């Protein structure tokens, strides 16, 4: 209390004679003081987070957990909902009843499998593992003939050259024990001429993710992080409900596209919020917490639900219930203090930080001994640590007046540099090195995205129960996160460990492909084990690429270069559903061989890219002396406020 009282007295003495009414208009002199006062920039916010608010606590962790839990990872829903069953042409009612009630006395078989029935009425492809009957022999049934007599007419129909016709009564479906039994294929007859529609909704989801990354970044920068998260979350909440009520498949594919756009936009913005609610030292921890929830907890939860819930509409409805957590975020999610500070909104920044300070302190006091509990500052005392010392009670209207005069940290450096240079590298008509780097980065990220999502969705073709495979794959993501962190902790340069990681993944893919293609085993034990190892390596690889690729660009080019690369790579990833479909249409295991070849392309691309070590590359556009002058001007004006903050903390 003594420190706070002293601080108030000093501020009152320093500001003696100033106006007392907060809502009275600013004089010209006071406005000039605001323009020349120290800015509440990112560095000042970091200082407040580190020394007053606390960089990691219940406030930060709670918001990350709530946001992650209320944003289910719906990308894996297609693994269950798009399960492709065996099918045959459905016959008339009396024939279907005859096959259902057949006995040993009636025919020379006790159980009729879907393939046995399909072989009687339809031509089938030369494979014994799957049944895909799309046509039936065109033989008219005589009046008053029995079912046995009619079936006898189909004997040697193929050898006799009997013509075929489309299945007039629809289809009969049979899911094998490893598949999810309640998907959209059987409900909307997405087989034969419509078989392309099931992979299409997976591609639509990938296209939606590409749109979401672009729109999410624009929304968060334009309207704020809070509005971006809540608007995309509420939109996803409503569209998820519409998906449960889809009347036909094209409507469902459209909702999947929109859900993906909202999901990816929200995840992108939530990642930024997590980074801006703490300091650089703890960002990886908050990011890891959100990643574990998204990649492991949600996928395991969906796998468990799919094991017990055999209706795709109810399963999608469970995602709707998880999305309802966004309603809680409407009341607790603050605006990013750094976004507010960058726009000179000092009071709003203070309120956002004060909410975090009060929450963290109350939670810490709850688990502290009574003697160690700290007294919470009032909002007025906390606001005294922020902003120009002579104008602590500036109104919101006055903030709008002076907002344009407040510098915004690194953005100021870039704007200042652009005024003294003709154009940046992106504006020059021919910059071969930059174009070449971006081209290689797009290929690198596209190949990895295709391979990663392809292996995730290949779970539907592994001959184990799909829920078990997805759950094990989800657990495999956790060590992948730790592996990427350890590799870049042990190795200074980025490219060599990434090369070795992709090489090992390619080796496992090649072994799995050769074993499956040559032996065609009845169960995929080796493929399941190797598949999880591949996913572990590829999860680590994508996280390492998200560190390596941005470092290929200078700071002024980094956001645009990496954003373009990752956005275009999502468009290229639309191919993986059709690659996985080859496992059914051609031979079991062929997608693995394709993914091994794609990973080999990554190795070749990496050989042409330069190595990085994480050190900041000085951009050609910004002269070091300009940056030094800008930084020193800021640090000189804010030294007194920083010292006062240290004393109080």
Of 174, 207, 226, the one marking the end of a domain is 174
> C-alpha angle 536/540/542, rounded to 5°?
120
In a domain, 410, yes or no: no
Return the pLDDT at 24. Answer: 45
Higher confidence at residue 278 or residue 646? 278
Q: How far is Cα 205 from Cα 255, in angstroms, rounded to an integer?
A: 9
Alpha helices in 459-524 (DSSP H): 466-490, 495-519
Q: Is 516 exposed, middle or buried (0-12, 13-18, 19+ CB in 10 A)?
A: buried
| Residue 396 confidence (pLDDT) | 42
Same domain, 528 and 457: yes
Rounded CA-CA distance 485/482 in Å is 5
155 and 169 in contact (C-beta within 8 Å)?
no
Rounded CA separation 269/276 (Å) = 11
> Are 360 and 429 members of one domain?
no
pLDDT of 5 > 70? The answer is no
**With the C-alpha atoms ordered 478, 484, 487, 492, is the resulting torsion angle positive or negative?**
negative
Q: Is residue 197 part of a domain?
A: yes
Q: What pLDDT score was predicted for residue 126? A: 63
Same domain, 251 and 306: yes
Task: With a cut of 60, say whether residue 6 has pLDDT above it.
Answer: no
- 11 pLDDT above the threshold of 80: no
Query: Are 218 and 351 contained in the same domain?
Result: yes
Nearest CA-CA partner of 535 in 464, 483, 499, 581: 483
- Nearest by Cα to 210 from 427, 440, 426, 442: 442
Distance CA 461, CA 469 (A): 10
Say yes or no to pLDDT of 268 above 60: yes
DSSP characters over 229-270: HHHHHHHHHHHHHHHHT-SSHHHHHHHHHHHHHHHHHHHHHH
Indicate the SS3 state at residue 31: helix
Judgement on whether residues 561 and 600 belong to the same structural domain of the protein: yes
Domain match, 153 and 190 both: no
pTM recorded for the entire structure: 0.71
User: Which residue do the tokens 């704020």 mark?
Assistant: 224
Check whether 34 has a pLDDT greater than 80: no
Question: Tell me, what CATH number does 445's domain have?
Answer: 1.20.1250.20
Q: Are residues 107 and 67 in the same domain?
A: no
The answer to whether the beta carbons of residues 456 and 473 sit under 8 Å apart is: yes
Q: Tell me the range of 28-42, 79-93, 146-160, 401-415 where mean pLDDT is highest.
A: 79-93
What is the distance between the alpha carbons of residues 255 and 241, in angstroms, rounded to a whole number?
A: 9
Rounded to whole angstroms, how far apart are CA atoms 398 and 23?
9
List the beta strands (DSSP E) in 153-206. 164-166, 171-174
Cβ burial, residue 69 (10 Å; 0-12/13-18/19+): middle
Tokens of 559: 């956001």
Same structural domain, 523 and 608: yes
Please give the pLDDT value at position 430: 47
Biggest CA-to-CA distance, the chain = 111
Contact present, 187 and 555 (Cβ < 8 Å): no
Question: pLDDT grade, residue 559 (50/70/90)?
Answer: low
Same domain assignment for residues 192 and 323: yes
Tokens 């007294």 belong to which residue?
375
Across the strands, what pairs with 171?
Answer: 89
Ranges 416-420, 448-452, 525-529: which has the least confidence = 416-420
pLDDT at residue 493 tops 90:
no
% pLDDT > 70, the chain: 77
pLDDT tens digits for range 322-351: 888 899 999 989 988 888 887 878 888 888
Burial (CB count within 10 angstroms: exposed 0-12, middle 13-18, buried 19+), residue 280: exposed
pLDDT band at 423, cuts 50/70/90? very low
* End-of-domain residue from the set 174, 191, 214: 174
Looking at the fold, whether 344 and 460 belong to one and the same domain comes out as no
Tokens of 527: 């493929």
Q: What distance in Å separates the CA atoms of residue 440 and residue 437, rounded to the nearest whole number?
A: 5
Neighbour-count burial of 477, counting CB atoms closer than 10 A to its CB (0-12 exposed, 13-18 middle, 19+ buried): buried
Q: Determine the pLDDT at residue 110.
A: 52
Q: Is residue 199 part of a domain?
A: yes
Q: Is residue 647 part of a domain?
A: no
| pLDDT value of position 253 | 93
How many of the other CB atoms lie within 10 Å of CB of 440? 20
Radius of gyration of the chain (CA): 31
State how far the Cα of 193 lies from the Cα of 565, in Å rounded to an integer: 35
| Tokens linked to 73 | 């990872």
Name 91's Cβ contacts closer than 8 Å, sequence gap at least 6: 99, 121, 169
Are the C-beta atoms of residues 265 and 232 closer than 8 Å to each other? Answer: yes
Q: Is residue 644 part of a domain?
A: no
**pLDDT recorded at residue 633:** 44
Task: For 156-179, give one letter per residue: b (16+ CB within 10 A) or e.
Answer: ebeeeeeebeebeeebbbbbeebb
Across 168-172, 186-190, 433-437, 630-634, least confident range: 630-634
Domain with 164 in it = 86-174
pLDDT band at 603 (very low <50, low <70, confident <90, very high): very high
Q: How confident is the model at residue 387 (pLDDT cuts 50, 70, 90)?
A: low
Q: Which pLDDT value is given to residue 179?
A: 85
Claim to verify: residue 161 and residue 189 sit in the same structural domain: no
Residue 404: exposed, middle, or buried by beta-carbon count in 10 A (0-12, 13-18, 19+)?
exposed
Looking at 128, 153, 174, which one is the last position of a domain?
A: 174
What is the domain count for the chain? Answer: 3
- Does 22 or 248 have the greater pLDDT score? 248
DSSP states along 362-407: HHHHHTS-GGG--PPPPHHHHHTTSS-TT-TT--HHHHHHHGGGS-
pLDDT for position 8: 44
Q: Which of 410, 457, 440, 416 is nearest to 574 (CA)?
A: 457
Answer yes or no: is 72 within a domain: yes
Q: What is the mean pLDDT of the chain?
A: 76
**Which among 492, 596, 587, 481 has a CA at the least distance from the CA of 541?**
481
- Tokens linked to 455: 């292996």
Per-residue model confidence (pLDDT) at position 42: 64
CA distance 506 to 512: 10
Q: What is the mean pLDDT of residues 457-464?
A: 72
Q: Does residue 296 lie in a domain region?
A: yes
pLDDT at residue 40 above 60?
A: yes
Q: In angstroms, rounded to a whole number, what is the distance separating the alpha carbons of residues 198 and 174?
A: 17
Quote the tokens at residue 614. Answer: 């994480």
For residues 486 and 473, membership in a common domain is answered with yes
| More reliable by pLDDT, 404 or 98 | 98
More confident residue, 624 or 289: 289
The owner of tokens 């024990």 is: 177
pLDDT at 3: 40
Which pLDDT score is estimated for 337? 87
pLDDT tens digits, 163-203? 888 888 889 998 888 888 888 999 999 998 888 888 888 88
Q: What's the CA gap between 147 and 414, in Å, rounded?
A: 82
402 lies in some domain = no
């Amino acid at each position: 209390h003594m420190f706070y009282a002293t601080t108030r007295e000093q501020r009152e003495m320093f500001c003696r004679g100033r106006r007392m009414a907060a809502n009275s208009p600013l004089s010209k002199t006071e406005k000039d003081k605001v323009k020349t006062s120290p800015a509440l920039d990112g560095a000042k916010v970091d200082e407040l987070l580190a020394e007053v608010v606390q960089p990691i606590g219940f406030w930060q962790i709670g918001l990350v957990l709530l946001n992650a839990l209320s944003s289910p990872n719906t990308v894996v829903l297609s693994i269950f909902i798009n399960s492709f069953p065996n099918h045959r042409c459905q016959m008339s009612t009396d024939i279907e009843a005859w096959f259902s009630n057949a006995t040993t006395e009636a025919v020379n078989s006790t159980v009729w499998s879907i393939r046995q029935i399909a072989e009687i009425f339809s031509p089938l492809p030369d494979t014994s593992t799957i049944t895909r009957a799309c046509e039936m022999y065109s033989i008219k049934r005589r009046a008053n003939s029995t079912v046995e007599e009619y079936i006898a007419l189909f004997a040697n129909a193929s050898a006799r050259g009997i013509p075929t016709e489309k299945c007039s009564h629809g289809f009969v479906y049979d899911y094998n024990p490893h598949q999810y039994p309640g998907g959209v294929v059987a409900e909307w007859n997405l087989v034969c001429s419509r078989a392309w529609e099931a992979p299409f909704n997976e591609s639509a989801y990938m296209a939606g993710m590409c749109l979401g990354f672009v729109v999410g970044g624009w929304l968060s920068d334009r309207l704020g992080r809070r509005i971006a998260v809540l608007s995309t979350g509420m939109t996803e909440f409503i569209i998820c409900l519409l998906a449960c009520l889809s009347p036909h498949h094209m409507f469902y594919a459209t909702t999947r596209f929109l859900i993906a756009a909202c999901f990816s936009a929200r995840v992108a913005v939530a990642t930024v919020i997590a980074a801006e609610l703490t300091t650089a030292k703890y960002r990886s921890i908050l990011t890891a917490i959100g990643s574990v929830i998204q990649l492991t907890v949600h996928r395991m939860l969906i796998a468990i639900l799919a094991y017990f819930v055999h209706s795709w509409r109810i399963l999608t409805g469970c995602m709707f219930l998880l999305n309802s957590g966004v309603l809680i975020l409407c009341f607790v999610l603050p605006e990013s203090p750094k976004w507010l500070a960058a726009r000179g909104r000092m009071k709003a920044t203070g309120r956002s930080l004060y909410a975090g300070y009060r929450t963290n302190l109350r939670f810490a006091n709850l688990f502290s001994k009574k003697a160690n509990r700290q007294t919470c500052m009032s909002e007025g005392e906390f606001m005294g640590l922020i902003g120009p010392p002579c104008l602590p009670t500036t109104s919101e209207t006055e903030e709008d007046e002076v907002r344009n005069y407040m510098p915004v940290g690194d953005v100021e450096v870039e704007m200042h540099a652009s005024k003294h240079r003709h154009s940046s590298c992106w504006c020059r008509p021919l910059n071969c090195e930059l174009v070449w780097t971006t081209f290689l980065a797009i290929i690198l990220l596209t190949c990895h995205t295709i391979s990663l999502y392809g292996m995730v969705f290949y779970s539907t073709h592994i001959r184990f129960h799909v829920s078990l495979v997805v759950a094990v794959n989800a657990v495999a993501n956790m060590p992948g996160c730790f592996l990427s962190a350890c590799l870049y902790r042990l190795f200074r340069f980025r490219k060599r460990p990434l090369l070795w990681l992709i090489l090992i993944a390619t080796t496992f893919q090649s072994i799995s492909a050769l074993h499956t293609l040559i032996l065609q085993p009845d169960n995929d034990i080796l493929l399941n084990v190797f598949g999880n190892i591949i996913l572990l390596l590829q999860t680590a690889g994508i996280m390492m690429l998200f560190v390596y690729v941005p470092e290929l660009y200078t700071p002024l080019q980094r956001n645009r270069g990496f954003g373009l690369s990752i956005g275009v790579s999502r468009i290229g990833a639309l191919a993986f559903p059709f690659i996985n479909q080859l496992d059914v249409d051609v031979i079991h295991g062929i997608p693995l061989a394709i993914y091994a070849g794609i990973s080999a392309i990554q190795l070749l691309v990496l050989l042409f890219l330069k190595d990085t070590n994480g050190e900041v590359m000085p951009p050609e556009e910004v002269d070091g002396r300009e940056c030094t002058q800008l930084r020193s001007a800021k640090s000189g004006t804010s030294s007194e406020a920083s010292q006062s903050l240290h004393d109080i903390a």
